[in-house]
Amino acid sequence: MAAKFGVDNGRSIYLPMLPGEILTKDQSPSTPSQHFQMRNVPYAEGIGHVLWPVMITRPDALCAVGILAQFVQNPGPAHWKALKRVIGYLYTTRDLWLTFGGIDADLEGFSDADWASQSHRHSISGYAFRIGKGAVTWSSKKQAIVALSSTEAEYVAQTHAAKELIWLRTFLGELNNPFTTPITLHCDNQGAIALSKDNKFHARTKHIDIRYHFIREAVENKKLRIQYIPTENNVADIFTKPLAKPKFEKFVEMLGLGPLEGEC
């Protein structure tokens, strides 16, 4: 893939997207000459190439790819440069493997949201579920609604994570023994945790679509429990925005990505 898009001979890249980098539709071509400049750029093909690894074994680059995929209809030079950076990152870190195992093999989830950081003002939800030390499912997705606060954005993100948790709970219960205790979902927003546990805040949440209150029922039925986790330990943060290198590398390791030990 790196050779196909001409990034196999460049410098090493250790971040799929630079912290604070904002890509918008304003950077897309708007004049005939700009469209002519981008006419032969294989942007859509590049997005197709990177989607496969980030959905299967490389969750660390999913947020960047999700942002870049929004411009596939009309990409500009800035978008193309950012996409080649993702390909260069995957090439530089091609020795990272998604690994499983560990002493503690319980299922646990992490949920997070980045409130209105993008120009479209739709927050980005992210979640990850681990069994042992490796992630088994993950997501980075633009929310359909415009959240009015960080608490609301986190609450919506929790609901998306809860739906995945219920499916995992059912699926794993069929393979082994049904779960008899709630599964932990970690969140770093105390307000969102309070909303999920108690409907006394109805006045603050009545404008939110009823489907997002699904998580309250799941908590009441003891299928999951929401537990606070500090932001610096919430691995789902990697799915909501570009991070600085130290924090990014910490979360990459927490996802279970690392060099393969021993012989293949």
CATH at residue 241? 3.30.420.10
Give 188-247 pLDDT, tens digit per residue. 989 888 888 766 554 455 556 555 677 888 888 888 999 999 999 999 999 999 999 999
Give 84-132 pLDDT, tens digit per residue. 999 999 999 999 999 887 777 788 999 999 876 666 678 899 999 999 8
Q: Where is pLDDT greater, at 127 or 142? A: 127
Residue 1 lies in a domain: no
Residue 249 lies in a domain: yes
- Are 153 and 83 members of one domain? no
- Are 189 and 247 members of one domain? yes
Number of structural domains found in the chain:
2
Q: What is the pLDDT of residue 264?
A: 43
Q: What is the 3-state secondary structure (H, E, C) of the chain?
A: CCCCCCCCCCCCCCCCCCCCCCCCHHHCCCCHHHHHHCCCCCHHHHHHHHHHHHHHCCHHHHHHHHHHHHHCCCCCHHHHHHHHHHHHHHHHCCCEEECCECCCCCEEEEEEEECCCCCCCCCEEEEEEEEECEEEEEEEEECCCCCCCHHHHHHHHHHHHHHHHHHHHHHHHHHCCCCCCCEEEEECCHHHHHHHHCHHHHHHHCCCCHHHHHHHHHHHCCCEEEEECCHHHCHHHHHCCCCCHHHHHHHHHHCCEEECCCCC
Give the residue numbers spanning the domain of 61. Answer: 25-94
Q: What is the pLDDT of residue 98?
A: 92
- Are 115 and 87 members of one domain? no
Give 13-69 pLDDT, tens digit per residue. 999 999 988 899 999 999 999 999 999 999 999 999 999 999 999 999 999 999 999
Q: What is the pLDDT of residue 9?
A: 87
Q: What is the pLDDT of residue 115?
A: 76
Q: What is the pLDDT of residue 118?
A: 64
- Are 160 and 205 members of one domain? yes
Of 64, 94, 124, which residue is a domain's last? 94
To the question of pTM greater than 0.95 for the whole model, the response is no
- Are 103 and 86 members of one domain? no
